[in-house]
Chain A
Amino acid sequence: MSVLELRDVHRIHGSGEATVLALRGVSMIVRPGELVAVMGPSGSGKSTLLNLAGGLDGPTQGEVAVEGTVLGGLNRKALAVLRRHSIGYVFQDLNLLPSLTAAENIALPLELDGVGVRRARRAALTSLAEVDLEGYAQRFPDEMSGGQQQRVAIARALVGQRRLILADEPTGALDSQTGEAVLRLLRAKVDAGAAGVLVTHEARHAAWADRVVFLRDGVVVDTSGPLAEPEHLLDGASS
C-alpha cells in the first residue's frame, strides 16, 4: 500500500486578479521504502505540494491520501492526530517553539500523542544524538546556530514511528558534510520502511532519492529514477 498518494491535485491560492495556480494536476504515489525528491525553481509549487501531503493545507481539487486515508474526509481533530502520529515534517522555516528546549521541541509531538514523559524524553535524546547534537538537549532555539536549529527540526521529524517524512529544504543551513549526514539519516529512516518526500534545490541531495520529480509552474515536467545498471556510467568516465 502507498504511504502517500496525490491524485490529480490542484491548489489555487487567492482569487480574482491575484489568483495563483500553485499546483495544476499533480499525481504522485510514494510507497514504503521510497524516497522521492522534488526539485524546481522558486515558486514552482514545491512547498505547496508538501503542505498538501502533510495535511497542513487542502487541495482545491483532487485528493490526498496518507496510508490510505483521504485527508479531506477527516475532521480537524482526526487530521491533527494523524499528522502527529504518522507524519514527520521539517518546515522550510523550521518552526521550532522558542520557549521549549531542543529536547522538549522533539518530545512534544510524542507527548501529545500519549507517549509518557520519560519515554518521550529518551526518544528525544536518541534522536538528538542521531543528528550529532548530544549535549544540546537543554538549549533553547535562540541559543543555537542556524544549522543546529535545523538539525533539531530534523530530529523532531524523525523521532518515533512516523511512516511519512516530509522535508522542505532540510539541508538549507548546513555545510556539505552535515547536509550529507542528514540525508544518510533520512535515507536510513526510509530504508527502514518509512516513505519520504524531500524538497531541495541541491541536485547532490536530491540524488539520495529513488525518484526525482521536477516541478515547474505547478506541473510535474519530468521524473528521474535511477538506472538499472551502474556499469553504463563507468564507460562514460573513461572518455
Chain B
Amino acid sequence: MSIKYGLLALLQRGTMYGYQLRTSFEESTGGTWPLNIGQVYTTLSRLERDDLVRSLPEHDGGQRPYEITDAGRAELATWFATPIGRGDRPRDELAIKLALALTTPGVDVPGIIQAQRTATMRMLQEYTRMKQRTAGPADLSWRLVLESMIFQAEAEVRWLDHCEASLARHAPLPTPPPATAPETVHDKEKTA
C-alpha cells in the first residue's frame, strides 16, 4: 500500500498544503500510520512530476497548496476500483519463519508458535481495547481500520492454531535429508 493514493484521496476533497495532508492522513487512519512531513513532500513532488497533482501559488503564510489533476482523479478512481492483490501486502515473514524453523534442526517449533500466538493475542486485546473507546459515526473510518487489524490478527491466531494441530498430527522428521523422506504420520489426536 502506498501514501500516494492516500494523498490523492485527500486532495480529491479539496486543495490542501503539506502539513494539512499529513494531519488529515493520520486522522483518517486513526494514527495507525504516522507520516513524517518529509514523506509527504517527497510523495507530492513525485505526484507533481507525474501530473497527478499540481502546486498552486503560495499563500501569504508561505504555505503552498496542492490540487488534484484530472489524471490524478482518474488514477485514484482506478485504485478504488481495483482489488488489492496479496502480493501488495507482504506480511508473510511469519510463514517463512515457520517454514524455515520446521527444516532447521534444534528449533522449538511449537515454542515459536505459542510465543507468536501469545504476542498476536496481546495485540488483538489492545486493538479491541482501542475499539471499545471508539464511539459514534465520527469514528467510523478509524473503527474500520482497527477492525481490519483485528480480523487480520484473528486470522493469524487461527492459522497458528492450525499449524500447531498439523504439527501434532504430522510430526516432522528431526533432520530431514534432502532426498525424499518416507511419509510418517503420528496420529496423536483421537478426535478431529
Q: Which residues of A contact B (CB under 8 A)?
A: 41-43, 187, 202-204, 206-210, 212, 214, 221-227, 230, 233-235, 237-238
Contact = CB atoms under 8 A, between A and B. Distances in A.
B114 to A, nearest CB: 6
B80 to A, nearest CB: 22
A235 B34 CA distance: 8
B117 interface: yes
B124 A41 contact: no
A207 B114 contact: no
Contacts of B127: 207, 233
**Interface residues of B: mostly helix, strand, loop or mixed?**
helix
Contacts of B191: 42-43
Nearest to A222: B118
Contact of A207 (B31, B33, B150, B161): B150
B123 A233 contact: yes
Interface in B161-183: 161, 164-165
Given A204-B124, A212-B125, A224-B118, 20 more contacts: A42-B191, A43-B189, A187-B132, A203-B120, A203-B124, A203-B153, A203-B158, A204-B151, A207-B127, A207-B153, A210-B125, A212-B121, A222-B114, A224-B121, A224-B125, A225-B122, A226-B122, A227-B126, A230-B126, A238-B32
Contacts of B34: 234-235, 238
A234 B153 CA distance: 14
B69 interface: no
Given A208-B128, A226-B125, A237 B33 contact: yes
Interface residues of B, number: 33
A222 B190 CA distance: 24
Contact of A204 (B117, B122, B154, B164): B154
Contact of B31 (A42, A203, A234): A234
Given A41-B161, A234-B31, A237-B33, A207 B151 contact: no
B129 interface: yes
A206 B158 CA distance: 12
A5 to B, nearest CB: 23
Contacts of A209: 125
B71 to A, nearest CB: 28
B154 A41 contact: no
A221 B113 CA distance: 12
A70 to B, nearest CB: 31
B114 A230 contact: no
B98 interface: no
B40 interface: no
Interface in B114-157: 114, 117-130, 132, 149-151, 153-154, 157
Interface string B9-50: 000000000000000000000011110000000000000000
A176 to B, nearest CB: 9
21 contacts: A43-B190, A203-B120, A203-B121, A203-B124, A203-B154, A204-B151, A204-B154, A207-B128, A209-B125, A212-B118, A212-B121, A214-B118, A222-B117, A223-B118, A224-B121, A224-B125, A226-B122, A233-B126, A234-B31, A234-B34, A237-B32
8 smallest A-B Cβ distances: which pairs?
A203-B157, A207-B124, A207-B128, A237-B32, A204-B154, A226-B125, A224-B121, A224-B118
B48 to A, nearest CB: 24
Contacts of B121: 203, 206-207, 212, 224
B151 A226 contact: no
Given A227-B122, A233-B127, A202 B154 contact: yes
Contacts of B129: 226, 230
A202 B157 CA distance: 9
Given A203-B121, A207-B150, A226-B126, A234 B158 contact: no
